[in-house]
Amino acid sequence: MSSSQSLLFFIKASFISLLVGNAYALEQLRIELTKVPMYFDLEATLEAVNQSTVSAQTTGAVKAIHYDVNDEMPAGTLIITIDDTQQQAQLQQATANLEQAKAQNEDAQVLLKRNKRLYEQKTVSQGEYDSANARAKSAAATVKAAEAMLKQAKEQLAYTQVKAPYGGIVTARHVELGELVNPGQALMTGMALEPLRAVADLPQDVAAKYQNAEQVRILVNDRVIAPEQVILFPYADTRHHSVRLRATLPKQEADAPLYPGLWSKVRIQTGERETILVPNAAILQRSELSSVYVIKDGQPRLRQVRTGMHFNDQVEILSGLQTGDIIISDALAQLAQLAKGV
């Protein structure tokens, strides 16, 4: 045998020896009680944080409707145009009234200055000076009133251009083209597709255990979402004696969008309890039976257990194990060794 063949034989023999030497070196775990969180799940509904009905703020006939039901609209876009003939006339009148008030105020201020100089020279009476002063103050007040009327006229003109307060989708239209509308009349209803919030009604005993937003998670379509903000109402419903909770979702992922109206769950951590947890790999599943390998008298023995909730990569054992027991952490690896007779 050559030296290279001897070296190769030595490496193979060492590797086989290492495998045989580690055949029984499977990780063993001693069972101890572990604290796990206790949860309470509630049915919830996703709703849009921004949803409202836009109403008319001026009088006029509907001149144009730029969006309809199910149309998407960006924030600030023009959605309805109201005829502005009356508002334009009011604006022109207000502008003219302001110019007139300014001219009268200028004349009154000039007269006041002149009478003040003459009063100091003792050529006009106290009464004439007081009268000029009063007219000057009245003229200045008239200018301010005219400026306010002009501002109001401009606002009324702006109200004829109804714009979306936020980006979203139209859910209802309440007017038709050519219809006369008045202040307060509903024009269009819409909602923003985000942000969203989950809304649930908590029983009194669960609401009493709420302390902060860290206790709350939102479950939607097998997704667990940590809310950005949680609001628990400071009062209970008088009919059902429940307390409403609102949990705002973070910004949605583009590849997994959520929509208002979807069913969801609100999960609230209400406390902690002690239980037995083992790794998922320690469970040997055969049909509906769950078992683990327990070290008994130095040998692995298969023992049936009843499992409960899952916590990440661990599973709860409801019965079949007790504190102090020693188990094999990898049941399939142990089964493979037993099958080889190792």
Closest of 297, 298, 300, 289 to residue 327, by C-alpha: 300
Q: What pLDDT sits at residue 30?
A: 93
**299 falls within a domain:** yes
Q: Are residues 278 and 327 in the same domain?
A: yes
Rounded distance between C-alpha atoms, residue 301 and residue 306, angstroms: 16
**12 falls within a domain:** no
User: pTM above 0.85?
Assistant: no
Rounded distance between C-alpha atoms, residue 53 and residue 258, angstroms: 22
Q: What pLDDT sits at residue 251?
A: 87
Q: What pLDDT sits at residue 122?
A: 81
In order along the chain (342 residues), what is the average pLDDT of each group of 10 residues? 35 32 68 91 94 95 95 94 95 95 92 85 85 91 95 95 94 95 96 93 92 92 90 92 94 81 92 92 90 91 92 91 92 86 62
Give the residue numbers spanning the domain of 217.
40-50+194-272
Q: What pLDDT sits at residue 51?
A: 94
**19 falls within a domain:** no
**2 falls within a domain:** no
Q: What pLDDT sits at residue 68?
A: 94
> Which helix (DSSP H) or strand (DSSP E) does residue 16 occupy?
helix 3-21
CATH of the domain at 68: 2.40.50.100
Using alpha carbons, list the distances in angstroms from residue 44 to 219, 225, 262.
9, 13, 9
Q: What pLDDT sits at residue 336?
A: 87
**1 falls within a domain:** no
**CB distance 43 to 336 below 8 Å:** no
Cα end-to-end distance, the chain, whole Å: 32
**CB distance 37 to 339 below 8 Å:** no
Q: Are residues 124 and 143 in the same domain?
A: yes
280-305 residues labelled b (16+ CB within 10 A) or e (exposed)? ebbbbeeeeebbbbbeeeeebeeeeb
Number of domains in the chain: 4
